[in-house]
A and B are shown apart, each in its own frame.
Chain A
């Protein structure tokens, strides 16, 4: 029944809107009817996802519009507003629907009919699809669909989407209903006995509607108490239990977290290996020059920087879809709500925040599971403060090189490990403070209700899980990927131009003279002598000379000039202008800072992953001095100040791009970058100043 968009039939395609509560099997029904969506994007001006699938039934082309899952058509949230706008034909780019399919969960009909009866009153041709009918049967729930159809005045069909039972009949019914006059529902009794006069119209409507639904369902639904209901209860009893629930929760989260951390690593290595291989081919084919540099250091580095995120995104969305599909996601939010409520977030923020420890990008994308727009935005804004895996190499290098390896209290606990843990704690603490402050200032407004359904336990549907993974990966590549590549190319250009060979040679020569002068000025026995001599003799080897040239070129580029320009800003952090320069250059991604430090301190190209290169970098950094002096740049307070800066800063263009795409706004990435940079500077400043004072 499903075909790719064909050109059969000369009539206009029918527009059919798919409406329903969350957790009703709506996505499964969408896939069963329309297959893979032909269009996924955002509705104009809002961050609500637009999903349209085109399929052919009989001789008609049907555009199936998947409306956001909603409990009510009272337009309060952006989701509900979109649903109402589409249904009333007021949504730009979506024709008024010819037919509405309301998805109603057969296991939970009473509450599902709330939305269904609201939809019937819109005066559009409507079909009600009773989903999860198979589960309802196993739960001992029997529904007289014919009688329900008679009482509601619209067709009611049983469907079991995964086995395609009733799907063809639903298609036939859609075609039949689309051409027929809309239902004429009996108006609600405006003043039922239970309604008090002082209630608001919306409250009265809700009470009257449930009174009506109870009448409609009287005699239509039969429940026979069976064992599976108590099984559901027993699962819930364990998984929301004080002790067992927490144990299962911690184990599940650890498993997910470690797999996005470790399972993704081999795949990411494979990707970066592949990109390196392509870069090597490009280097051997293309002649040395600006074109090669653009392709290898700009385009390929940018594309590699995008594709590298795919394994983590795919894995996280796989697990989130799995948890969502079986009903655990809501339980996790239930367990964690109290903890996060204290800082102005909600339980639903937990998984996005936890996954941000691996990488903020999948974390921010998974905030899509938070329906409440305020909580979602707040979560997105603080997620990048979780120390992601890209910060780890920076921490490891600096902790290993500049934090003394002394025991703290007990012999097995070493200071570098304590500092490393402290960096993670700094991120969490600052995120908590930021969330707390924002939720009480910028995001105050009206209190947002936390009213969350805990769906029944069920087996996740594989096709829905895989579709979620595919959707997330594709939307990341399409929406964020191109922009990330563009940013990488811009930063490459800033680090490569202007390039004047004469000036570079002059600088290398001047460097050598400075080194010679310093060596001559040192007394005959001095610990620094050997280092200086080694540095000088390195300039005589071809590799050393090339490294010095690269360093000089980068220092003279726009980026290098920017580094010198911001020196007064970074000096209070204990940094020389080269460090400032490296911080700017790491804007595309934090981990780039290691490579940049290598280049800028004349080490040549280093691979931060390889141990030997890292130790060469460590030696180079330990030897680095302030321009023209013997004063070392890297001391313990400076190393700590760099780490705190990188723990809090927003030096990750991809994260900012994804924040922009996920919030559908250019404002929020700017806000995130600004507040994080300010905090990073203040944190680094306090660390350096305090550290210098205490460690004098």
Chain B
């Protein structure tokens, strides 16, 4: 399954799963990146990292390293 890290800037994807149960995974879920939600990759920072996402009507920034843990259904 592809990860959110592989989604091109400007494209959207549906979250399938967040792997792991550490602090980062829980925080990602708490911020609304739960299975089934649609996420748009709005932009990447000038140096390529982090990513700017849009979900649930707001904007969130996460690092590519963490985005790689979010499996998406394309």
Give A residues with C-beta under 8 Å from B. 71-72, 74, 76, 107-111, 114, 194, 196, 199-200, 202-203, 206-207, 210-211, 223, 233, 236-237, 240-243, 245-246, 330, 333-335, 337-339, 341, 347, 446-456
Q: Are A456 and B34 closer than 8 Å at their CB atoms?
A: no
Report the bound CA distance from A447 to B63 in whole Å: 12
**Chain B residue contacts of A207, Cβ below 8 A:** 29, 34-35
Contact (A203, B46) CB under 8 Å given A210-B37, A454-B60: no
- Among B25, B26, B66, chain A packs the most CB atoms within 10 A around the CB of B26
CB distance from B35 to the nearest CB of A (A): 5
Q: Which of B24, B49, B56, B59 has the most CB of A within 10 A?
A: B59
11 A-B contact pairs sorted by A residue (CB < 8 Å): A76-B23, A107-B58, A108-B56, A114-B30, A196-B17, A206-B30, A211-B34, A240-B43, A241-B46, A450-B62, A453-B58
| Complex contact B28–A246 (CB within 8 A) | no
- Whether B59 pairs with A245 at a CB distance below 8 angstroms is no
Known interface pairs A76-B23, A450-B63, A456-B58; 17 further A-B residue pairs with C-beta atoms within 8 A, sorted by A's residue number? A71-B30, A76-B26, A107-B57, A110-B57, A194-B35, A200-B21, A207-B29, A240-B45, A333-B61, A334-B52, A335-B45, A337-B50, A338-B50, A339-B47, A453-B59, A454-B52, A454-B59
Cα–Cα distance between A452 and B60 once the two chains are bound (Å): 6
> What is the CB-to-nearest-CB distance from B24 to chain A, in angstroms, rounded to a whole number?
4
Contacts of A109 in B (CB 8 A): 57
CB distance from A116 to the nearest CB of B (A): 13
Question: A residues within 8 A CB of B34?
Answer: 194, 206-207, 210-211
* Chain B residues in 8 Å Cβ range of A71: 27, 30-31
Of A210, A237, A338, A453, which one neighbours B45 at CB under 8 angstroms? Answer: A338
Rounded to whole Å, the gap between the CB of A84 and the closest CB of chain B is: 14
**CB < 8 Å: which of A74, A338, A447 contacts B48?**
A338
| Structural contact, B59 and A202, CB atoms closer than 8 A | no
User: CA of A454 to CA of B41 in the docked complex: distance in angstroms?
Assistant: 13
Instruction: Please determine whether B32 and A330 come into contact, CB atoms closer than 8 angstroms.
Output: no
Q: How far is the CA of A562 from the CA of B59 in the complex (A)?
A: 58
A203 and B49 contact, CB distance less than 8 A = no
Contact indicator A451/B56 (Cβ below 8 Å)? no
Does B28 lie within 8 Å of A449, measured CB to CB?
yes
Contact between B46 and A335, CB atoms less than 8 A apart: yes
Say yes or no for B42: interface residue by CB 8 A criterion: yes
If A76-B23, A210-B37 touch, whether A236 touches B46 (CB-CB below 8 Å) is no
For residue B52, give the distance in angstroms from its CB to the closest CB of chain A: 6
| Residue ID in chain B nearest A114 by CB atoms | B30
Which A residues lie within 8 Å of B25 (CB)? Answer: 203
State in angstroms the CA–CA spacing of A194 and B73 once bound together.
14
A202 near B26 with CB under 8 A, answer yes
Q: Which residues of A contact B27 (CB under 8 A)?
A: 71-72, 76, 449, 451
Interface pairs A-B: 4 shortest CB-CB:
A200-B21, A338-B47, A206-B29, A449-B24
Residue of B nearest to A110 (CB): B56
Residue in A closest to B42 when the chains form the complex, CB atoms: A236
From known contacts A194-B35, A240-B45, A338-B47, infer whether A456 and B30 are also in contact, taking CB-CB under 8 Å.
no
In the assembled complex, the Cα of A629 lies from the Cα of B58 at a distance in Å of 73
Interchain CB contact under 8 A, B58 and A202:
no
Q: With A and B bound together, what is the CA distance between A452 and B61 in angstroms?
A: 5
Cβ–Cβ contact B26 & A203, under 8 A = yes
Could you say which residues of chain B place their CB within 8 Å of the CB of A333? 61
**Contact B30–A334 (Cβ < 8 Å):** no
Contact B58 A236 (CB under 8 A): no
Name B31's contact: one of A194, A196, A451 (CB within 8 Å).
A451
A111 x B58 contact (CB < 8 A): yes
Which residues on B sit within 8 Å (CB–CB) of A455? 58-59
Bound: A114/B35 CA distance, A: 16
Min C-beta distance of A570 to chain B, whole Å? 43
Q: Inside 8 A of A211's CB, which chain B residues have their CB?
A: 34
Known: A240-B43, A242-B46. A111 touches B32 (CB 8 A): yes
**Complex CA distance for A207 and B17, rounded to whole angstroms:** 10
Contact of A334 among B18, B21, B28, B45 (CB under 8 A): B45
* Contacts A206-B26, A447-B24 given; does A110 touch B32 at CB 8 Å: yes
Complex CA distance for A223 and B27, rounded to whole angstroms: 27
B2 proximal to A (CB < 8 A): no
Given contacts A111-B31, A237-B43, contact A449 B58 (CB under 8 A): no
Q: Does the CB pair A453–B46 fall under 8 Å? A: no
What B residues does A448 contact at CB under 8 A?
23
**Is A453 in contact with B60, judged by CB distance below 8 angstroms?**
yes
- Given the complex of chains A and B, what is the CA–CA distance between A347 and B58 in angstroms? 20
Question: B residues within 8 A CB of A335?
Answer: 45-46
How long is the Cα–Cα vector from A109 to B29 in the complex, in angstroms? Answer: 16
Say yes or no: A199 contacts B21, CB within 8 Å.
yes
A203 to B25: give the CA distance in the assembly, Å.
Answer: 8
Closest to B58 in A: A108
Note all chain B residues with C-beta closer than 8 A to A452.
50, 60-62
Closest to A454 in B: B59
Shortest C-beta distance, A355 to chain B (Å), equals: 21
A448 to B48 Cα, complex, angstroms:
20
Query: Taking each of A74, A111, A206, A243, which has the highest tally of chain B beta carbons within 10 Å of its own beta carbon?
Result: A206
List of A residues within 8 angstroms of B52 by Cβ: 236, 240, 334, 454
Point out the residues of chain B lying under 8 angstroms from A339, CB to CB: 47
The answer to whether B63 touches A74, judged by C-beta atoms less than 8 angstroms apart, is: no
Query: Which of B30, B49, B59, B60 makes the CB contact (< 8 A) with A338?
Result: B49
- Would A449 and B49 count as touching, CB distance under 8 A? no
